[in-house]
């Protein structure tokens, strides 16, 4: 930025600034001058009471107001609006011409009309949106016009004092306008920088969303190509198993039947793994949509119990009513949790409860299964962000149920935790009412 003119060094940047501020400056100047013209005309009352030849001063003042009003209307024309700063300065100078006329034609200097020029300096520098160079030029014309109007009274101490006061006030006004113009340009640069950063951020978010969509599409395609052979292998295993059972129905278990059962079990495990991975990675797409709905959380917990195996002893107590949150995320969490229990053998007892605790909704689910250690719980809920995370140390199928629960609850702005019991486990889902508020 030029230190002398308070303008940008680059013509293109200055042009961009002027273009961005043009309509705002034009509207501000029009309103300010629309206020100034009637106030200036109102000083005719002061002319009548203070001047010896008031008629000429009043006529000149009213003529000035008429010319100013005409110019003010003219720069509203589309073809002339680009000259609005020039017209604004012209109106200010025309009004000052009235003061010069009064000073020149009056025989004395007792009326202190120089104060009107001080008001004009404050007006041009602070109320109007005029550049530093233009404002400084107007102030210089004010000062030289005042000196020329009182050229016959320059020997008077009072006139010299008035000139000094005008000079010092105009310096203050010019410096204030200089600082204002620099601030406006600095603010323009900051706003453009923020605008550019927002544009870049939107572009990055759009790219990330497209990348997520591509990954989901690729995963869906992969699952499609993988699941079809899996179903074929599973069906083939059933055919082979049925054929072997018919041939050897009077014989004991044979290696052929065992092999067919092994293939069938392996196929079922592979199907569960693929479905688990697909459900987990589809949560990325759900997070990008960020859909908030109102639904019954009690019904969601009840549906969780309905999906459990009929041999599972399930009970639920408590009520929290309707909630605003990502319904699909919560539903996915309970679906994954039901898969976790459905895969367990033996007699399973599950008790669930829901309640409000301050600004949170708490859902507790207790079971009588083998107690999970904190280390096991952590390993089964750690996000899958690296290829090493997809396999456990044994290289067998990856447990995805609790991992999916943790990710889905996180998307719903909640927390999923575990507490080992003496004979079982206690899983806790906390939903913050700050992010998922209760429906009215």
So what's the pLDDT on residue 261? 65
Sign of CA dihedral 61, 62, 64, 68: positive
So what's the pLDDT on residue 417? 93
* Residues 6 or more apart whose Cβ sits within 8 Å of residue 29: 84, 85, 88, 128, 129, 130
Q: Which of 397, 361, 388, 211 is nearest to 288 (CA)?
A: 211
Alpha helices in 352-391 (DSSP H): 374-381
So what's the pLDDT on residue 145? 92
So what's the pLDDT on residue 230? 63
So what's the pLDDT on residue 96? 92
Residue 254: pLDDT above 60?
A: no
- Which of 55-69, 235-249, 352-366, 406-420 is least confident? 235-249
Residue 302: pLDDT above 60?
A: yes
**Strand partners for 357:** 360
User: If you average pLDDT over each of 51-60, 252-261, 275-284, 383-392, which comes out highest?
Assistant: 51-60
Q: What is the pLDDT of residues 364-387, one digit of tens each?
A: 999 988 888 888 898 888 876 654
CA dist., res. 164 & res. 413, Å (int): 69
What's the whole-number mean pLDDT along residues 55-63?
91
Could you tell me if 143 and 166 are in contact, meaning their C-beta atoms sit under 8 angstroms apart? Answer: yes
Residues of the chain with pLDDT > 90: what percent?
26
So what's the pLDDT on residue 327? 80
CA dist., res. 431 & res. 425, Å (int): 20
Residue 249: pLDDT above 60?
A: no
Tokens coding 321: 């009513």
So what's the pLDDT on residue 39? 92
CA dist., res. 33 & res. 440, Å (int): 52
Pairing of strands 414-421, 349-357: unpaired
- Which of 24-33, 159-168, 309-318 is least confident? 309-318
So what's the pLDDT on residue 423? 86
Confidence band (pLDDT; 50, 70, 90) for 395? very low
So what's the pLDDT on residue 440? 38
**Backbone Cα Rg of the chain:** 42
Residue 394: pLDDT above 50?
A: no
Q: Token pair 């013509």 is at which residue? A: 11
Residues of the chain with pLDDT > 70: what percent?
77
Domains and CATH numbers, the chain: 1-289 (no CATH), 290-440 (3.30.565.10)
CA dist., res. 63 & res. 41, Å (int): 9
Its pTM stands at: 0.54
What's the whole-number mean pLDDT along residues 188-212?
87
So what's the pLDDT on residue 317? 84
So what's the pLDDT on residue 256? 59
Tokens coding 305: 């119990």
So what's the pLDDT on residue 166? 92
CA dist., res. 129 & res. 118, Å (int): 17
Q: What is the pLDDT of residues 87-121, one digit of tens each?
A: 999 999 999 999 999 888 876 667 778 888 899 99
Confidence band (pLDDT; 50, 70, 90) for 435? very low
Residue 287: pLDDT above 80?
A: no
Residue 393: pLDDT above 50?
A: no
Helix (H, G, I), strand (E, B) or coil at 352: strand
Helix (H, G, I), strand (E, B) or coil at 72: helix
So what's the pLDDT on residue 299? 81
Could you tell me if 418 and 428 are in contact, meaning their C-beta atoms sit under 8 angstroms apart? Answer: yes
So what's the pLDDT on residue 387? 47
């Amino acid at each position: 930025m030029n230190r002398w003119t308070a303008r940008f060094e680059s013509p293109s940047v200055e042009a961009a600034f002027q273009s961005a501020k043009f309509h705002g400056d034009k509207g501000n100047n029009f309103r300010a001058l629309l206020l100034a013209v009637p106030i200036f005309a109102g000083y005719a009352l002061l002319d009548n009471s203070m001047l010896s030849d008031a008629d000429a001063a009043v006529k000149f003042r009213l003529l000035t107001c008429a010319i100013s009003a005409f110019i003010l209307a003219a720069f509203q024309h589309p073809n002339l609006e680009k000259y609005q700063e020039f017209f604004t300065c012209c109106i200010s100078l025309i009004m000052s011409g009235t003061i010069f006329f009064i000073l020149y034609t009056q025989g004395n200097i007792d009326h202190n009309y120089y104060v009107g020029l001080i008001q004009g300096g404050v007006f041009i520098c602070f109320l109007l949106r005029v550049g530093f160079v233009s404002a400084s030029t107007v102030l210089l014309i004010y000062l030289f016009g005042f000196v020329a109007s009182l050229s016959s009274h320059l020997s008077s101490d009072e006139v010299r004092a008035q000139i000094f006061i005008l000079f010092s006030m105009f310096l203050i006004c010019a410096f204030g306008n200089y600082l204002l113009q620099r601030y406006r340009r600095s603010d323009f640069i900051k706003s453009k920088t923020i605008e550019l950063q927002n544009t870049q951020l939107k572009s990055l978010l759009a790219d990330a969303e497209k990348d997520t969509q591509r990954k989901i599409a690729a995963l869906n395609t992969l699952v499609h190509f993988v699941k079809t052979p899996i179903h074929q292998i599973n069906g083939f295993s059933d055919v082979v198993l049925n054929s072997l059972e018919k041939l050897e129905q009077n014989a004991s278990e044979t290696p052929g039947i065992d092999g067919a059962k092994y293939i069938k079990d392996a196929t079922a495990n592979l199907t569960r793994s693929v479905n688990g991975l697909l459900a987990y990675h589809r949560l990325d797409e759900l997070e990008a949509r960020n859909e908030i709905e109102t639904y019954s959380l009690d019904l969601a917990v009840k549906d969780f119990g309905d999906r459990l195996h009929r041999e599972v002893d399930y009970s639920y107590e408590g009520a929290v009513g309707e909630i605003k949150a990502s319904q699909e995320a919560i539903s996915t969490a309970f679906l994954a949790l039901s898969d976790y229990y459905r895969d367990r053998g033996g007699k399973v007892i599950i008790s669930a409860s829901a309640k409000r605790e301050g600004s949170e909704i708490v859902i507790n689910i207790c079971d009588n299964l083998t107690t999970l250690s904190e280390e096991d719980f952590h390993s089964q809920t750690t996000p899958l962000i690296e290829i090493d995370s997809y396999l456990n140390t044994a290289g067998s199928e990856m447990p995805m149920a609790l991992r999916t629960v943790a990710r889905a609850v996180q998307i719903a702005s909640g927390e999923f935790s575990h507490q080992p019991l003496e004979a079982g486990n206690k899983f806790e889902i906390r939903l913050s009412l700050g992010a998922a508020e209760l429906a009215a």
